[in-house]
Amino acid sequence: MAVRPYWKGYLKLSLVTCPVQMMPATSESEKVRFHTLNRETRNRVVSHYIDAVTGKEVKDDDEVKGYQRGENDYIILEDEELENVALDSTRTIDIDVFSPRDSIEWIWLDTPYYLSPNDPVGEEAFSVIRDAMAAEDMVGVSRLVISRRERAVMLEPRGKGIVLWTLRYGDEVRDEETYFEAIDGTKSNSEMMPLIQQFIKKQTRHWDSKLVSDPVQDKLLEIIEAKRKKTKRPAKAKGAEPKATPNNVINIMDALRKSVEVENRPGKR
């Protein structure tokens, strides 16, 4: 099944505009996820919003955002008011600033997205903007509304497309000197340095995504698979709704387990 675009809109540079779509560059959908169950009934536990004073459940239509200005005193903001904030950057990424790529440090980068043309007619305009930034080794800086908050974003040309990074807000980045100032500034031991350098050379490997694999994830899959084999599926209660279970779950788990076994063989790095 094709992944639906996270966002659709327009990329704009001066008078050049093209329709684009944005997709998350990372995913956690393959992670093992758990539901909270009632141990006695084995039914799922459902959470609800409860009024802190009356103790009564709050209906979805009655949930509203509030900004606290005093004790038990809130300013209520309706959904329409929140959606109307920064409308200009809701559907258009208007690049008005360019910066050298190496001038934006890693700590400012937050979440990556893949930006690509959303219409064949706009591919030429998209390619011109991308290639011009690449030729100058520049990135574009703009603003975009994501999840009702306007974010500064950085657009970096990458191959045939553009990687859009959301940037952290200024008050989210802490000054490194605050944490490094107590470190002794004397030079490293000249006798130990060659030994450490030799160790680094010996342990040097080309980057591989397997270097950041999750061993806990693999162990969880093994436990789940072992329990699946031992535990019989409970009979369905009369009148119960059938569960929609993907047909390929077992195959995927088998493939994952075999992949882990291959990687763990002696002599396999």
pLDDT of residue 262 exceeding 60, the answer is no
Report residue 251's pLDDT band, with 50, 70 and 90 as the boundaries: very low
Question: What is the percentage of the chain residues whose pLDDT exceeds 70?
Answer: 82
Q: List the one residue out of 14, 190, 35 whose CA is nearest residue 97.
A: 14
pLDDT of residue 165 exceeding 90, the answer is yes
Say if CB 37 and CB 44 are below 8 A apart: yes
| 114-128, 173-187, 245-259: the lowest-pLDDT one | 245-259
DSSP three-state, residue 96: coil
- Crossing angle of helices 215-230 and 249-263, rounded to 10°: 130
DSSP three-state, residue 62: helix
DSSP three-state, residue 196: helix
pLDDT at 84: 63
130-154 residue pLDDT tens: 999 999 999 999 998 887 678 899 9
Quick one: DSSP state of residue 225? H
Work out the average pLDDT over 6-30: 88
Distances (CA, A) of 88 to 85, 143, 168: 9, 9, 20
Work out the average pLDDT over 195-214: 82
Higher-confidence position of 54 and 184:
54
Q: List the one residue out of 231, 220, 252 whose CA is nearest residue 42.
A: 231
66-125 residue pLDDT tens: 888 888 888 888 877 766 655 555 789 999 899 999 999 999 999 999 999 998 888 999
pLDDT of residue 255 exceeding 60, the answer is no
pLDDT of residue 29 exceeding 90, the answer is no
Residue 224 to residue 230: CA distance in whole angstroms: 10
* Entry pTM: 0.64
pLDDT of residue 246 exceeding 70, the answer is no
Work out the average pLDDT over 232-242: 58
Structure tokens given for 178 = 């605050």
Higher-confidence position of 98 and 233:
98
Residue where the block lists tokens 């160790």: 199
Q: List the one residue out of 166, 174, 133, 131 whose CA is nearest residue 147.
A: 166
Strands (E), 25-148: 65-70, 73-77, 92-94, 97-100, 109-117, 138-146
pLDDT of residue 127 exceeding 90, the answer is yes
Sort residue 41 into left (φ over 0), alpha (ψ -120 to 50) or beta.
alpha
Report residue 266's pLDDT band, with 50, 70 and 90 as the boundaries: low
Residue 198 to residue 201: CA distance in whole angstroms: 5
Report residue 162's pLDDT band, with 50, 70 and 90 as the boundaries: very high
Higher-confidence position of 210 and 53:
53
